[in-house]
Amino acid sequence: MALYSEKVMDHFINPRNVGVIENADGVGEVGNAKCGDIMKMYLKIEDDTIKDVKFETFGCASAIASSSMATELIKGQPVEKAMELTNKAVAEALDGLPDYKMHCSVLAEEAIHSALEDYNKRRKSE
């Protein structure tokens, strides 16, 4: 059996939504010191809907694929729905991850939640 699903390989080789959003409405950065993966998420939000999302990930194939899939899952979604994103949903959308790589999907979830929290903080301070 292959180590990674076709979807993981596809999102690793052809990641979606890579890059930076200038003047993002929310930015979240998380990292896992143990494995060295770092993810940064950028959100553009209009009318409480995620209009655009980009990411920069320094990490393994699973980390890049998880970031890519997570952005696809929340793009166009209401902020409230994006807050409900779980690492399990990310892993399932990728047709599974090896057990020892599940932390990559957790990082993707945390990066998105961190960016959404940043967005909410900025909104309150306006």
Q: Is 60 a catalytic residue?
A: no
Quick check: is 1 in a domain?
A: no
Which CATH number is 62's domain given? 3.90.1010.10
Task: Say whether pLDDT at 1 is over 60.
Answer: no
Task: Say whether pLDDT at 17 is over 90.
Answer: yes
- Segment 99-108 shows an average pLDDT of 94
Domain count, the chain: 1
User: With pLDDT > 70 as the criterion, what percentage of the chain qualifies?
Assistant: 98
Q: List the domain range (segments joined by +) for residue 10.
A: 6-125
Q: Which position among 9, 35, 60, 83 bears the catalytic label?
A: 35
Q: Which position among 50, 79, 82, 104 bears the catalytic label?
A: 104
Question: Taking a C-beta distance cutoff of 8 angstroms, is the pair 119, 26 a contact?
Answer: yes
Quick check: is 16 in a domain?
A: yes
Q: Which two tokens stand for residue 41?
A: 């998420």
pLDDT digits (tens, 9 = 90+) for 32-88: 777 789 999 999 999 999 999 999 999 999 999 999 999 999 999 999 999 999 999
One-letter identity of residue 55: F
